[in-house]
Amino acid sequence: LQITREATKADIKRAFRAVASKTHPDKFQDPSEKRNAEIRFKKLATAYDILRDDEFRQDYDYMLDHPDEFYMNFYRAWRRRNYPNVDVRIVLAVTISLISDKKKQRRMTKQQIKEEEEQIIRKVIEDKMDIRGVYAKPTIYDLLWVQMVMLPIWTFQYLAWYCSWIYRIWILKRDYEKEDKNYLIRKKMCMSQGQYDALDDETREKYLKLELWKQENFQVWKAERDEEIRIKQASSGRFKSYRRYLKNNGPGRMYFDD
């Protein structure tokens, strides 16, 4: 984007438009140049998405200042996208109000106050959070005996869906629907349905915009992601220490006595 660290959101937006107008893939006719332009534009869009968001930008600045904290930086990025969206201010406000009211009514020990706070915070979080996928609350369908009873029905539903796929996509040559695209993306990423559902809506929409259901686009995206991880690991002091440990001591082993 060719901007400084002190750039405002308006500066970032202007820089993105200026660079995008010159490097957009539609401006190139040669297949090779067009492919390179697509790769550059995806990187440009990713940079713009990070810098225009205050929380992501704060994490990015921290990563620049602390490049050796690879795992902590990775955790921050993961938490920002996957952790339940709970407003801490609401939790604290409700907690302080209710605890203060309780303390007025009766004298409480420190242990009682702590237990009361934990119960209130847990209740507020349960009411505010939105957890999906494999992290969602268990349902009756997670019980083994229910799954055994439902197995024939689920098998029939899968066969019906697969026959519909063959008829629509292979025979009629229809275009992929949104559900079909998400299915292909999930399979290419080797993710279960629960893991894919746990992704936030913005991430899944981003995958659709990148057209990752297409093999060529997915390969480019995967190569870029693997390269980013490799570069971060190569510059991480902790990861270098870990590699030296493996070189000198080998992988960890558990013996019978353990």
pLDDT at 97 over 80: no
Q: What is the pLDDT of residues 196-210, one digit of tens each?
A: 888 888 899 999 999
- pLDDT recorded at residue 65: 82
Distance CA 181, CA 207 (A): 9
> b/e string for 58-79 if b means 16 or more Cβ within 10 A?
ebbeebeeeeebbeebeebeee
Residue with the bigger pLDDT between 16 and 172: it is 172
Nearest 5°: the CA angle 55, 60, 61 is 100
What pLDDT, on the 0 to 100 scale, is given for residue 213? 93
Residue range 146-161, pLDDT digits in tens: 888 889 998 999 899 9
Instruction: Specify the pLDDT at position 256.
Output: 41
Q: Which of 77-86, 177-186, 215-224 is the least confident region?
A: 77-86
Residue 202 CB-density burial (10 A; 0-12 exposed, 13-18 middle, 19+ buried): exposed
Cβ partners under 8 Å of residue 126, min gap 6: none
pLDDT at 71 over 70: no
Which pLDDT does position 33 carry in this prediction?
82
Which residues 6+ apart lie within 8 Å of 73 measured at CB?
A: 59, 62, 63, 66, 232
Length of the chain as a residue count: 258
